[in-house]
Amino acid sequence: MTLSEMVFLPYGRQQIEDDDIAAVVDVLRSEFLTTGPALAAFEAALCRATAARHAVACTNGTAALHMAALAFGLGPGDIAVVPSVTFLSTANAVRLTGAEVVFADCDPDSGLMEAQHFAEAQARAEGPVKAVFPVHMAGQCGDLAAIRDVADRHDIAVIDDAAHAIGSRYRLRDGETSPIGDGRLCRMTTFSFHPVKTIAMGEGGAVTTNDDALAARLRHLRSHGMTRDFAEMSRNDMAYDGEGRQNPWYYEMPEVGLNYRVTDIQCALGHSQLKKLDRFVARRRALAARYDSQLEGLSPLLQPLAQSQHCKAAWHLYAVLIDFDAAGISRAAFMNRLREDGIGTQVHYIPVHRQPYYQRRYGETALPGSERYYARTLSLPLFAGMADEDVDRVVAALKRHLGV
């Protein structure tokens, strides 16, 4: 065993550098640990990275989804379409507002909900659908323009879960690409900055939007549903003294909210990381291309993820599809053998409609594309700090265990 084989390769991990650490230390020595200048600077940087008018940072990607669902106004009696191949949060955010979820199927070879899967779920819903949450699996996206067309026909808002897709670009009808989160086709876009994601904040998330009113609501919801902006006050008798001076302590709560505020410590890390987005994405793309070239045509038992023509992916995950039945090995055994070789893998995701909670609530749903995707998917190591040789080592192990 060579030295490089001794190092365990996780499926994903953060890349923290000295300037990231220095940025965090600076905040620790500063006046504000939360809701200070680092938050504003991070949100401004996120607007630049996504070309969105507003970015509202929060505690994590789940909170971002929950805030977006609440800001849009989902609530009891409403219905939202969510792809079944996603992390729990996308569906849970809908349920936490009291609204019901209708699960959509996906392309079995890309894991993406396309317009036809969305339309099929919409037709299956037992009432009008108010929102749809496309999920940009692995950093790719489906045909967002086509999804938007279906949404427009039924007056449905598109809120995309871009936890995997900071730095990805989607293709517009004219062939041009634009950053995911730019707010042109989607009402709101949510991000996660968990350490396995492309940008790490420890825990962190954000919502981007071009809608001023939604941005204001998101900011309220993030902090107890309250405002300190005197332009927004409704009780002038309480907001001002007898001479028309603002009461300095005054705040108002126009609606009920949460505490989803994110610290300046996390924002400083996020901002420092965001400065490296282009470099991280370039590295991820180069590693993905190296996997592609080595895996293409390697064996009928294994195929790379189908590449969407509708985006330029930043590749959060490098997933492959393996026919475990034909290979004569279970996925568990396969993953364990790779682990013994020092290679971490993961499955993204167990289809959410199969979770006991959702099965109890909605019964059985037949989603053959999701099932077929789930049966074969395996995420291989991919992170900015990986060396080319790490890819070669993973491919060699795959070959060994598939016997090809």
Ligand X SMILES: *Cc1c(COP(=O)(O)O)cnc(C)c1O
Q: What residues act catalytically?
A: 197
Residue closer to ligand X by CB (options 194, 376) is 194
Residue listed under structure tokens 């989803």: 260
Provide the 3-class DSSP secondary structure of residue 244.
Answer: coil
Among 27, 47, 163, 199, binds ligand X (CB under 6 A): 163
Site map for ligand X, 3-22, x if CB under 6 A?
--------------------
User: Which segment (55-63, 269-277, 328-336, 366-374) binds ligand X by CB under 6 A?
Assistant: 55-63
**Interaction between residue 66 and ligand X (CB under 6 A):** no
> Which helix (DSSP H) or strand (DSSP E) does residue 303 occupy?
strand 302-304
Question: Residue ranges of the alpha helices (H) in 206-276?
Answer: 212-222, 236-239, 264-274
Cβ-contact 321, 305 below 8 angstroms: yes
Tokens representing 132 are 């749809």
**Interaction between residue 270 and ligand X (CB under 6 A):** no
Angle between helices 264-274 and 37-50 (to 10 degrees): 30
d(CA 395, CA 319): 13
Beta strand 100-104 with 79-83 is parallel
Q: How far is the CB of 91 from ligand X (least distance, A)?
A: 10
**Interaction between residue 164 and ligand X (CB under 6 A):** yes
d(CA 304, CA 19): 35
Residue closer to ligand X by CB (options 86, 122) is 86
- Strand extents, DSSP E, 84-152: 100-104, 131-132
Q: How far is the CB of 183 from ligand X (least distance, A)?
A: 19
**Interaction between residue 227 and ligand X (CB under 6 A):** no
Q: How far is the CB of 301 from ligand X (least distance, A)?
A: 27
d(CA 183, CA 51): 8
> Which helix (DSSP H) or strand (DSSP E) does residue 287 occupy?
helix 277-295
Site map for ligand X, 364-403, x if CB under 6 A?
----------------------------------------
**Interaction between residue 148 and ligand X (CB under 6 A):** no
Among 84, 90, 223, 370, binds ligand X (CB under 6 A): 90
- Is the N-terminal amide bond of 250 cis, ω within 30° of 0? no
Name residue 34's amino acid: T
User: Which segment (84-92, 209-217, 337-345, 380-388) binds ligand X by CB under 6 A?
Assistant: 84-92
Among 61, 108, 257, 304, binds ligand X (CB under 6 A): 61
Tokens representing 340 are 């013994």
Using CB under 6 A as the binding criterion, the count of chain residues that bind ligand X stands at 14
**Interaction between residue 139 and ligand X (CB under 6 A):** no
- Judged by the rule CB under 6 A, the positions of this chain that interact with ligand X are 60-62, 86-87, 89-90, 135, 161, 163-164, 192, 194, 205
